[in-house]
Structure 1
Amino acid sequence: MVSQPSPDRERSSAPLRAHNAIPRDRVLDAARDIVVDVGLRGLTMADLARRADVSRATLYRTWPNADGVVADLFTREFRTLLQTAMRSVSGDDARSMLVALSVAVVRLARRLPVLQRVIELDPGFIAPYLLHRRGASTDDQMQLLEDLIRDGQTDGSIRAGDAAVMASAVLLDAWAFVLTGPVFVGEDHLDALDAELRLQLDRFLTP
């Protein structure tokens, strides 16, 4: 995906930081800025070290290569997105909360700068997470959906069923609306599309 140089000793007057003192968020912020500027293929450990103002040796103590940085970046960005969505919604019961949260996540994900840039320049990066494996942020979303479904089954707002399978169906639906919704309806009709998602999820979950 992202070709990287082999780690080597670099000559720098900057002091090395202890492993546990690496400014992790500063590095990930720098990685985000590079991806938004030039895409994943422009992210190298050398450029990242310069942008984050740390040595390459320091970076390699935490991440083996740029792919590892990208994985942590996307995990952080989606966890932050999920927290933002959770703060923005409310509901009278677990079903209304789950539906509102799912639609909020879809809307935020469509506007996430790093995701937009990857879709535009490096769409192949997404394929393994759709076809072969789940990432850490997907696990977070799945766990939250399962918990909400079980809560809804307890309070009577969500029908009976396997919570894990039902959560998978909700998440698959939501990701389709994120990735292919704009292609099918265009940017001018996304609000109407999201209203359909809200209706679809509500009917899917209603007892």
Structure 2
Amino acid sequence: MMFDDRVDAGRRLGAHLRNLGVTATVVAGLPRGGVPVAAEVATILGAPLDVIIVRKLGYPRHPEVAMGAIGEEGVRLIDTDLVRHLGVTLTEIDAVEARERDVLIRRAAALRGDRPPRNLAGASILIVDDGIATGATASAACLVARKRGAAEVIVAAPVGGSDAVQRVRGADRVICLEQPAGFQAVGEYYRDFGQTTEAEVVALLEKTNEHS
């Protein structure tokens, strides 16, 4: 299955989740690309939209390879087996984490402003991204949700690899609309996979929540 763009993917995913009977107190997109998908899902499910901010920790010599992820609330996940296999040093990990933590803090300020994160105590949260490549950022987001008191955590995405879905940690359930054989990259399943800007994320948060 090919998706036209993230809006199309969100509508298809939202319809699938509704048919499965999935409900959520909050739908949280992973900025930036996951938010347009999550906005459509939130509208279909009639739930408020929020964000959980996470960052991939890329392998220094091949940044597209995730050796872990970080998130709000001080969350940090490291793929120790991969790090050992690649021979990454603690100094290299710390340097990547420091850089990504700075981006995370600035992004949180840009997207939330002075608003505190939504209270998730006892909530059922649906975490949505535009795809699951390694499961690292989704796992970090699950830990953030748990630290904020979420009682149930569901992860959903339009597309992902079956192995990556199995590696998502901290979720009660992982739902992937499409799990194609030979999956390599999320962007291969979108006709339009352009960058989502922070301004677009802010606008979606305001638009989706204006009546909530």
Q: Which has the bigger relative contact order, CA under 8 A and spacing at least 6? A: 2
Is TM-score (shorter-chain normalized) higher than 0.5? no
Between Structure 1 and Structure 2, the one with more helix by share is: 1
State TM-score, norm by structure 2: 0.27
Task: Say which structure is richer in strand.
Answer: 2
TM normalised by structure 1 equals 0.27
* Larger-gyration structure (1/2): 1
